[in-house]
């Protein structure tokens, strides 16, 4: 055996198998970066799903209101409970807001309005107050932008800021 081979065999290992402090820090930084990308994407996906559920609920309730109107000589219900079905809460745990425009107080003061202050519907209003649970009658108000609304007598159902 040569002298150099003998030195290499008897040389103590300076590094044991495993991670060093630097390796661990790099791993933690990479994991933190991945989490910082994943959490906002997850929040956006949850928000889109909540909006889609509210749109579906409003569409279903609108159809039930129309069915009620057809069976009751063109009269709209005064409240959603008159429909005789289970009324779901919106995805944020709040009741949907319904207004029979036929029996609303005279004038345009109690009706939902678009950015030009025109009423959204001529038959009935139906909407969710959205994530913040707060709403104002005009859609261009800050509190109303996250509302899920029915507009143009049902031709549009969606996020108020998209109307």
DSSP-assigned beta bridge partners for residue 95: 89
pLDDT more than 70, % of the chain: 87
Residues 137-147 pLDDT 10s: 888 889 999 99
The helix (run of H) or strand (run of E) holding residue 97 is strand 97-100
Per the structure block, which two tokens stand in for 17?
Answer: 């198998």
Predicted TM-score of the model (pTM): 0.77
**CA 130/CA 147 separation, integer angstroms:** 4
The pLDDT value given to residue 79? 95
pLDDT over threshold 90, residue 11:
no
Q: Is 14 helix (H, G, I), strand (E, B) or coil?
A: coil
Per the structure block, which two tokens stand in for 142?
Answer: 């800050």
Q: Are 131 and 120 in contact (CB under 8 A)?
A: no
DSSP-assigned beta bridge partners for residue 150: 157
- What is the average per-residue pLDDT within 64-83? 95
pLDDT over threshold 90, residue 99:
yes
Per the structure block, which two tokens stand in for 12?
Answer: 């103590």
Query: 152 φ, ψ to 5°?
Result: 55, 45
Kindly write down the DSSP assignment for every residue of 87-152, as one continuous string.
Answer: -PBPTTS-BPEEEEGGGSPSSSTTS-B-TTS-BS-SSEEEEE-TTTT---SBTTSGGGTT-EEEEG
The listed CATH number (1.20.120, 3.30.700, 3.90.550, 1.10.1760) that belongs to domain 54-162: 3.30.700
The pLDDT value given to residue 116? 85
- What is the average per-residue pLDDT within 65-89? 95
- Average per-residue pLDDT for the chain: 88
Mean pLDDT lowest among 14-18, 73-77, 131-135, 140-144: 14-18
Mean pLDDT lowest among 70-74, 107-111, 115-119, 120-124: 107-111
pLDDT band at 68 (very low <50, low <70, confident <90, very high): very high
């Amino acid at each position: 055996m040569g002298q150099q081979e003998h030195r290499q065999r008897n040389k103590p290992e300076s590094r044991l198998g495993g991670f060093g402090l630097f390796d661990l820090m790099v791993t933690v930084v990479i994991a933190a970066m991945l989490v910082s990308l994943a959490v906002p994407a997850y929040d956006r996906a949850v928000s889109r799903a909540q909006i889609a559920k509210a749109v579906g609920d409003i569409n279903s309730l609108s159809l039930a209101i129309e069915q009620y109107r057809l069976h009751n000589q063109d009269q709209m219900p005064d409240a959603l409970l008159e429909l005789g079905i289970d009324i779901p809460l919106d995805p944020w745990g709040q009741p949907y807001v319904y207004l029979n425009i036929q029996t609303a107080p005279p004038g345009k003061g109690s009706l939902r309005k678009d950015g030009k202050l025109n009423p959204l519907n001529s038959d009935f209003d139906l909407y969710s107050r959205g994530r913040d649970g707060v709403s104002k009658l005009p859609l261009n108000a800050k509190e109303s932008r996250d509302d899920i609304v029915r507009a143009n007598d049902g031709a549009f159902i969606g996020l108020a800021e998209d109307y």
